[in-house]
Amino acid sequence: MSLSYRQPPNRWELRPGEIHVCAVALAASPVCIAKLEGVLSPEERQRARRFRTAELTQAFVAGRGILRTILGGCLHLPPSDVPLEYGERGKPRIRGGGRLRFNLSHSGGQALYALAVDCEVGVDLERIRPMPDCESIAERFFSAAEQRDLRSAPPRQREAAFFTCWTRKEAYIKAVGDGLSLPLDSFRVSLLPSEPPTLDARGDSQEWSLFDVSPGQSYAAALVAEGPRTEVRGWAFGDAGDCTAYFG
């Protein structure tokens, strides 16, 4: 069953043993975008300028500004002071260690932010869209068992099954932090709507749990977290302004 997203509580608290997922629409007024741009680091502002279109620049500014605002709320720091750095393969993290872990994903104007204490997380979101070549993409990236499962899905459900598989695989590689250097056919996820979310990564000595965290019917989304099953809570924010007002 997919996660249900609720209104955030009056007083927000992240405890060990819980994972919180914030769903935020990246839409933002020009005033809000200017405010979010103001919390970015000089390197992030430079990166924002390198995107090909104004939409992509705006999505990055909103996504990164919201990330800084949420993390600032967790760490009791101004968003611009959140010390972000990157792991060897690009996974963002808080410099200096600490117990807070996070990951994010955005697609189709929507973003998901996963937060946890002492527990690595990876999250991936994709808007479900027509994908006529999904079987040939699956041949390139999915394991043989996943390709078989995809072919067995009823044609009407094939695209949703494809994105379910894609996001589950991405969430795992993002949790591990290895990016695409981890062979995508070295582990298996379930993808059929009739089956619960499962992840079989036998070669990995670490235990991981997989959750369906779709924020709506037109999205596939997955969360992978370190350790045995944990409590996952979902919070919905209307747009960037709502989220920054809450955490800021």
Ligand X SMILES: CC(C)(COP(=O)(O)OP(=O)(O)OC[C@H]1O[C@@H](n2cnc3c(N)ncnc32)[C@H](O)[C@@H]1OP(=O)(O)O)[C@@H](O)C(=O)NCCC(=O)NCCS
| Interface residues toward ligand X, by CB under 6 A | 60, 63-64, 89-92, 103-106, 122, 124, 141, 166, 169-170, 173-174, 177, 179-180, 184
In whole angstroms, how close is the CB of 174 to ligand X at the nearest point?
4
In whole angstroms, how close is the CB of 223 to ligand X at the nearest point?
12
Name the residue nearer to ligand X (CB basis): 8 or 63. Answer: 63
| Residues 124 and 176: beta-carbon distance below 8 Å | no
CA-CA-CA-CA torsion sign (127, 225, 25, 92): negative
Residues 6 or more apart whose CB falls under 8 angstroms from that of 33 comprise: 58, 61, 62, 65, 240
CA–CA gap between residue 61 and residue 37 (Å, rounded): 6
Name the residue nearer to ligand X (CB basis): 7 or 186. Answer: 186
Which amino acid is present at 14? L
In whole angstroms, how close is the CB of 72 to ligand X at the nearest point?
16
CA–CA gap between residue 67 and residue 77 (Å, rounded): 13
Residue 218: count of CB within 10 angstroms of its CB? 13
Name the residue nearer to ligand X (CB basis): 92 or 248. Answer: 92
Name the residue nearer to ligand X (CB basis): 177 or 215. Answer: 177
In whole angstroms, how close is the CB of 52 to ligand X at the nearest point?
14
Name the residue nearer to ligand X (CB basis): 121 or 236. Answer: 121
In whole angstroms, how close is the CB of 178 to ligand X at the nearest point?
6
